[in-house]
Amino acid sequence: MSSFKSGYVGIIGKPNVGKSTLLNQLVGQKLAIVSEKPQTTRTRIQGILTKPNYQIILVDTPGVHSPKDQLHAFMQSQITETVEGVDLLLFLVAVDEKLDEEDRLALKTINKENKPTILVVNKIDLDKTNAEKLRSQLSLLSQFCATQLISALEGIGCQELLNKIITQLPEGPQYFPEDTLTDRNERFFVGELVREQVYRLTQQEIPYSVAVVTEEVKERSPELTYVKAVIYVERDSQKKILIGTNGIKLKEIGQTARKEVEQLLQKKVYLDLWIKVKKNWRKDPVALKQLGLK
C-alpha cells in the first residue's frame, strides 16, 4: 500500500512572476486575484489540493521587495513567516526577467531556513531561450532540489511540477477535509474580486491605496443575495477618481465585480458598493488591523 503524503508548499518570488496564476492553475480554481500590476497579492492565501494519495497546501505570498511602508512591512513579514512555516518552497522566476537585488533578497530569506526548494522558471510560453541562463545563474546562489520550466498561464509543465512537489513531500496526515479548497472565507473572496476590478479599471497609485472590506453577505431570497462592500482609499481626491464623472467609474467597477461575485456565489447578487476615506491607512497600524492586513 502506498502511503499518504502531505505538506505546506510556499510560493515565493518577485512581484509579477506569476505566483498567483500558478496557485490558481494547480488548484484548478481562481483563488488568488491576478493582475499585470505588481503587488496585487497582499496576504497569504492557501489553496488546498487533495487527491487519494496526497494533500498539498499551497501558500501564495505577496511578492518579495524591500519594505517602504507599514503595508510593505506587513507583506514582507508574510513571506518570512511563510518560509519558516512550510515543508517545501517553490522559488519562481519569470523567463523574461533578469536576476536582480530582489531575487537575491528572496534567496537570502530562503537560504536562512534551509528548506528544500524547487526552482520554477515561469512564462516559458513567451520565450524559452533565457531559461537555461537563469537556471545556471540561480544555481550559484542557492541549492535547489529540482528545477521545472512551466507556463502557469497555459498549464505547460504543471503536471511535471506537481510530480516533483509530491516527490519532495513527507508522509503526513490529511490536514483538511477533502472538499476544502482554501483557508479563506467567502467574504474575503468577495472583497478580493472587488479589489481586482479596481486594479483593472484604475491607474497609477489608486490600486495601491485601495483596500476592500466586505461588511455583509445576506441571502435576501433564494434568488438574490445582498452584498455590501466598502472600498477604502487614502485621500478625498482618490475617492473622486473612483466615483468618476457622474458615478461612471464606480458603476463600471460595480457591474464587473458583481458578475465575478455571482460566479463565486453561484447566485444573483445585489452588490452595494461604498467608498470611504481612511486617511493614509497604509501607514497606520490600527487601520491596517481593521482592514485585516495585520
Site residues (vs ligand GDP, CB under 6 A): 13, 15-21, 34-36, 40-41, 63, 122-123, 125-126, 151-153
Q: DSSP E strands: which ranges in 137-261?
A: 146-149, 211-219, 224-233
Place of cell 483596500: 211
d(CA 268, CA 289): 31
d(CA 4, CA 6): 7
Binds 153: which of ligand GDP, Mg ion, none (CB < 5-8 Å by kind)? ligand GDP
Cβ nearer to Mg ion, comparing 19 with 195: 19
Question: Closest approach of Cβ 40 to Mg ion, in Å?
Answer: 5
Q: Which amino acid is at 265?
A: L
Cβ nearer to ligand GDP, comparing 17 with 206: 17
- Tell me if 41 contacts Mg ion by CB under 5 A: yes
- Tell me if 20 contacts Mg ion by CB under 5 A: yes
43-to-39, 78, 79, 152, 265 alpha-carbon distances in Å: 10, 7, 9, 20, 22
- Tell me if 168 contacts Mg ion by CB under 5 A: no
Question: Closest approach of Cβ 170 to Mg ion, in Å?
Answer: 27
Stretch that binds Mg ion, among 15-23, 84-92, 131-139, 173-181 (CB under 5 A): 15-23
> Hey, is 275 helix, strand or coil?
strand
Cβ nearer to ligand GDP, comparing 88 with 106: 106
Cβ nearer to ligand GDP, comparing 101 with 127: 127
Q: Which amino acid is at 27?
A: V
